[in-house]
Chains A and B, each alone.
Chain A
């Protein structure tokens, strides 16, 4: 992560230094990495000129895992150790995996947490670890093509991803040594790629049918501000399902029994996909299928017949389309444009149905496979600070309501879906027994009334409540969802002011200690000394802080009096000199000291920012009724 170029202590870094941050589309079927170079966003190819990295990881008994085309090439030879479509498993529990059933030909084992692990010759692998391998490969590709180490990235997720799925994605990035600048929703990234921010205003529908997920989002654009109005979808529907229905058709036609083994299933899926892709341009595709007994079956699939096979799947995308329109309170004819994303939208039948539903031809001039990565790269370039005066601002919403379990297994919603994030919400709880010192809170996500119909996110245990009579304690629990859509919780007993500790047990995710453990165990990190890793991490943190404070001082130094300025300068110099020595704990202390010295400064800068935004407006201006202000 040598992204920050370090200047001599005491010197300010050059103000307009060019940095690189990449955009990553971590897809179900394929993943891509893109970057802005010379003002143009483009996806980065591998050494052989291939842009798409198949999201397939093959584990081997000896040696590092193989990712991408090389893994796919031997997938049918080694199906149990070759993992595809792992995105479907991200943030999912073992029960969900059973529901996905036959579509996933792996063997699962239950780990310590509810997260399923896939049995491979290289040990049991969590979906997070598998995704991390894909991310590492993309990171390496970016580092090789750009010639500088790449550590920062914007990673895209389906807008419909719940907290557990987003958290799993962020954990995978952490395992791969990537600092996530932002988890960006895929439809928003697509809108950015199309430069829709250049239009003054409008409402756009982003129809994204990828390998394994379907998303439909409505975005409102207003002078460079993107706002997600509503979002819906199906996190288990995509092009892979089409391959399956085609494969099943082939099995019926060719007289292949249902108990086809994994190898044959892989071959069938490959042939099914090839036929599907061929029928995008052609009216008929000839199939030649190798049966188990080495005999062949020859057949023809016409586009018309393909349509009857996939229509039920495409039709499943329409109710969510209706729902977003209704959630946003608009009709289809109010939509100013439709953007197609995802490989499956190349299918003529999909385009036909989408055009019919929205009553207009969709936009499709950017490669639907690359559009998300390109948008992510554009946003990464803004976030890393290469476009300082960029007006673009992406406002996101929480895709599913957040609720708490109450009596009788019912859910009380605390943050409704489609609320703009970040958002915080406080809820008061009390004890029901005398002297009770702990409280269990169960957080769920979903729209249904029963806890069992929603997705369990986490159980929080509040400890250290001062003993009181039943009902006397008032525990305020604050739920915070950040700009990435990730939840965090804090709690305080209001009558005594005692902070309760919150112990988070994610229902499907990895705990912090599990991740630490994986980081220590991972091959990349085993090669280096643990202390050296810690030192490097602290140095990166120190550099980041030094630069941030220096930038703040040069921009808003006027907000400080000379005494305050002297204190910050002292702690800044302290950190700069601590940084120069290789002492982890000294750097840690100096970071803390500078952080607390700049607390007031940070708050003042934020206030100044708000005042600037409201400058020239008086509160009375908010009245438009013509009445005189009454207070």
Chain B
């Protein structure tokens, strides 16, 4: 099991599955078949959704190894990372007031994307190790990825406001 997958190939397989189980193929079928087709298609959609997104895929891969992210019970994070997050958040607030907000927002988005790529790299290496230390590092990486994702969504929202 490795982290990297061929996204194009994933899409091809996804469509192959859809072609066979989608509710449109069962428009004339019994209620039972229609229900089953609906459930199966929803499951396939969810699977595709998880696998195509690196953060969700990472989280899912960890769950297959029985590693729980434990967001609800364990809220400790690397202090340096938290500090960086606070600093990014402040930057986002400043963008709102800035004159050249579009340019600043683009710069911030670039920075987040770069940090996401780095963290994905960190996860990839840690996950490949398959050791207790690796597992811990992979777990932290996924949690950091989730923080960064959230930040990226906020940037998206602000961008929408500014249109």
Is B159 positioned at the interface, with any CB of A under 8 Å from its CB? yes
Asked whether any CB of chain B lies closer than 8 Å to the CB of A181, the reply is yes
CA distance A480 to B40 in the complex (A): 12
Which chain A residue has the least Cβ–Cβ distance from B127? A630
What is the CA–CA distance of A512 and B46 in the complex, to the nearest angstrom? Answer: 30
The 8 Å CB contact of A612, one of B20, B39, B46, is: B20
CB-based nearest A residue for B4: A625
Interface positions of A from 579 to 631, Cβ below 8 Å from B: 595, 598-599, 602-603, 605-606, 609-610, 612-614, 617, 621-625, 627, 629-631
- The reply to whether B9 and A622 contact each other, CB–CB distance below 8 Å, is yes
Question: A423 at interface (Cβ–Cβ under 8 A)?
Answer: yes
Contacts of B39 in A (CB 8 A): 424
The answer to whether B15 and A222 touch across the interface, beta carbons within 8 angstroms, is yes
Cβ contact within 8 Å between B2 and A623 = yes
List 16 A-B pairs, Cβ < 8 Å.
A222-B11, A393-B19, A419-B49, A423-B46, A424-B42, A480-B38, A480-B42, A483-B41, A552-B29, A595-B32, A602-B36, A613-B16, A613-B20, A622-B6, A630-B130, A631-B1
Q: Which residue from chain B places its CB closest to the CB of A611 in the assembled complex?
A: B20
Give the CA-CA distance A613 to B32 in the complex, in Å: 21
Query: How many angstroms between the C-alpha atoms of A546 and B30 in the bound complex?
Result: 8
> Interface on chain B toward A: helix, strand, loop, or mixed SS?
helix
Contact mask B103-129 → A, CB, 8 Å, 1/0? 000000000000000000000000010
B24 contacts partner chain A, Cβ-Cβ < 8 Å: yes
Q: For B163, what are the chain A residues with a Cβ–Cβ distance below 8 Å?
A: 319, 322-323
CA distance in complex: A89, B70 (Å): 47
Q: How far is the CA of A68 from the CA of B89 in the complex (A)?
A: 58
Q: Are B32 and A610 in contact (CB under 8 A)?
A: no
Taking a contact as CB atoms under 8 Å apart, the answer to whether A624 and B36 are in contact is: no
Q: Does A420 contact B (CB under 8 A)?
A: yes
Cross-chain contact B32 with A483 (CB below 8 angstroms) = no
Inter-chain contacts of A621 with B (CB < 8 A): 9
The residue of chain A having its C-beta at the shortest distance from the C-beta of B21 within the complex is A609
Answer whether residue A476 sits at the interface, using C-beta atoms and an 8 A cutoff.
no
State whether the Cβ of B5 lies closer than 8 Å to any Cβ in chain A: yes
| Additional 15 contacts, C-beta under 8 A, given A182-B24, A393-B24 | A225-B15, A383-B24, A384-B28, A391-B19, A393-B15, A393-B18, A395-B18, A420-B49, A480-B38, A483-B22, A598-B30, A610-B20, A610-B21, A613-B17, A630-B130
The residue from B6, B19, B22, B45 contacting A624, defined by CB atoms under 8 A apart: B6
Interface size, A (range): 35 or more
User: 1/0 per position for A146-185, CB-CB distance to B under 8 A?
Assistant: 0000000000000000000000000000000000011000
Identity of the chain B residue whose Cβ is nearest the Cβ of A623 in the assembled complex: B2
Q: Find the A residue at minimum CB distance from B27.
A: A383
> B11 — nearest CB in chain A belongs to which residue?
A222
Is B31's beta carbon under 8 Å from chain A? Answer: yes
Q: Which residues of B contact A549 (CB under 8 A)?
A: 30
- Identify which of B28, B36, B49, B130 contacts A548 (C-beta below 8 A): B28
Q: Is the CB of A623 within 8 A of B1?
A: yes
Q: How many Å from the CB of B119 to the closest CB on chain A? A: 18
Pairwise interchain contact B45-A423, C-beta atoms closer than 8 A: yes
Instruction: Point out the residues of chain A lying under 8 angstroms from B128, CB to CB.
Output: 627, 630
- Chain B residues 128 to 163 lying within 8 A of chain A, measured CB to CB, are 128, 130, 159-160, 163
Question: A422 interface residue, CB < 8 Å from B?
Answer: yes
Most A-side CB within 10 Å, residue of B13, B33, B49, B159:
B33
Known A-B contacts A423-B45, A629-B2; the reply to A610 vs B19 at CB < 8 A is: no
Separation of A544 and B32 alpha carbons in the complex (Å): 12
Question: How many whole Å from B44's CB to the nearest CB in chain A?
Answer: 8
Could you tell me which residues of chain B, from 35 to 93, have a CB within 8 Å of some CB in chain A? Answer: 36-43, 45-46, 48-49, 64-65
Are A610 and B40 also in contact (CB < 8 A) when A421-B45, A624-B9 are?
Answer: yes
Residues in A11-48 with C-beta less than 8 Å from chain B: none
User: How far does the alpha carbon of A137 sit from the alpha carbon of B122 in the complex, in Å?
Assistant: 64
Report the minimum CB–CB distance from B36 to chain A (whole Å). Answer: 5
Q: How far is the CA of A629 from the CA of B19 in the complex (A)?
A: 29
* A482 sits at the interface (CB 8 A): yes
Q: What is the CA–CA distance of A322 and B5 in the complex, to the nearest angstrom? A: 31
Q: Is A545 located at the chain interface by the 8 A CB criterion?
A: yes
Please judge, given known A-B contacts A393-B22, A614-B13, whether A483 and B49 are in contact too, CB under 8 Å.
no
Q: For the complex, is A394 an interface residue (Cβ under 8 Å from B)?
A: yes
Asked if B10 CB lies within 8 Å of chain A CBs, one says yes
Chain A residues 293 to 340 lying within 8 A of chain B, measured CB to CB, are 319, 322-323, 326
Task: Answer whether residue A385 sits at the interface, using C-beta atoms and an 8 A cutoff.
Answer: yes
A551 to B48, CA, bound (A): 31
Q: When the two chains form their complex, are residues A548 and B33 in contact, meaning their CB atoms are under 8 A apart? A: yes
Within the complex, what minimum Cβ distance (angstroms) separates A188 from chain B? 11
Q: Which of A114-147 contact B (CB under 8 A)?
A: none
Give the residues in chain B near A422, CB-CB below 8 Å: 23, 38, 41-42, 45
Residues of B within 8 A of A319 (CB): 163
Whole-angstrom CA separation of A394 from B130 in the bound complex: 41
B-contacting residues, A219-240, CB 8 Å: 222-223, 225
Closest to B40 in A: A606
Contact B1 A383 (CB under 8 A): no
Contact between chains at B38 and A610 (CB < 8 Å): no
Q: Which residues of A contact B19 (CB under 8 A)?
A: 225, 391, 393, 613
Chain A: CB-nearest residue to B16 = A613
Contacts of A609 in B (CB 8 A): 20-21
- How far is it, in angstroms, between the C-alpha of A319 and the C-alpha of B42 when the chains are bound? 31
Q: In whole angstroms, what is the CA distance A595 to B36 when docked?
A: 12
Inter-chain contact B4/A606, CB cutoff 8 Å: no
